[in-house]
Amino acid sequence: MDTPQPRWQRRKEARPAEIVEAALQLFMEKGYAATRLDDVAKLAGVTKGTVYLYFDNKEELFKAVVRETVLPSLEFAENLVDGHRGSWAELLWQLLEGWAERMVESPATGISKLMIAEAANFPELARFYVDEVVVRSRRLFAGVIERGIAAGEFRPVDVQMATRAVISPLMMMKVWKQSFSLCDAEPVDLLSFARFHYDLLLQGLQRR
């Protein structure tokens, strides 16, 4: 029976993905500042020199983590909106539900908490995250609200304020769970909270 090859013997094409995976794990466990490329290399099963073959520095590695683990979900959601032809209220729920599910299942959603904690110390990374993730997320939900208004499903509202109202509660609940889950006597299920939040949103958005 064939035995698995050591990681250092695997195809070169696999190495960047393994490095990104290791970096994500360490960023989530230690934070950005405390994560060292030596530790990333060790966890990925490669040398530090190999890490530098693909990434110039830790900042570029972090950007790769965001682009490889966060942006594909955003791109999927953007395509979903562009191709949608039904109810905008139903699509709004589909987006919120999918987001909540990723919050439960994907460690990459913890990057938002990491950026909140370390943005002041690493403003260039914070600016990158805002441009690549936050702005696109706002544009995504704003587009749904705008099209819902145009279709007559939603009443005219301040789209910018409504977009923040859509995003902020679920984001805050995720950060809360990551920070205080061990000492919170009243834990909240994210999917249940997302549904409750959506029901409240519709009360404010839908035409009477």
Where are the domains positioned within the chain?
A: 7-66, 70-205
DSSP 45: T
Beta-carbon contacts of 82 under 8 Å, excluding residues fewer than 6 positions away, are: none
pTM value is: 0.87
Determine the Cα angle at 113 with ends 107 and 116, to 5°. Answer: 155
- The CATH classification number of 70-205 equals 1.10.357.10
Instruction: Tell me which CATH homologous superfamily contains domain 7-66.
Output: Homeodomain-like (1.10.10.60)
Cβ contact 133:70 at 8 Å:
yes
Q: Which pLDDT score, from 0 to 100, does residue 1 have? A: 46
pLDDT in tens, the chain (208 residues): 444 444 445 455 568 999 999 999 999 999 999 999 999 999 999 999 999 999 999 999 999 999 999 999 999 999 999 999 999 999 999 999 999 999 999 989 889 999 999 999 999 999 999 999 999 999 999 999 999 999 999 999 999 999 999 999 999 999 888 888 778 888 889 999 999 999 999 999 998 7
Identify the CA nearest to 205 among candidates 171, 168, 161, 175. Answer: 161
Distance CA 144, CA 22 (A): 35
The DSSP line for 108-166 is GGGHHHHHHHHTTT-HHHHHHHIIIIIHHHHHHHHHHHHHHHHTTSB----HHHHHHHH
pLDDT of residue 186: 85
Residue 99 bridge partners (DSSP): none
d(CA 172, CA 192): 15
Instruction: Report the distance separating Cα 188 and Cα 181, nearest Å.
Output: 9
Burial of 158 (0-12, 13-18, 19+ CB in 10 A): exposed
Residues pairing with 154 in the sheet: 206
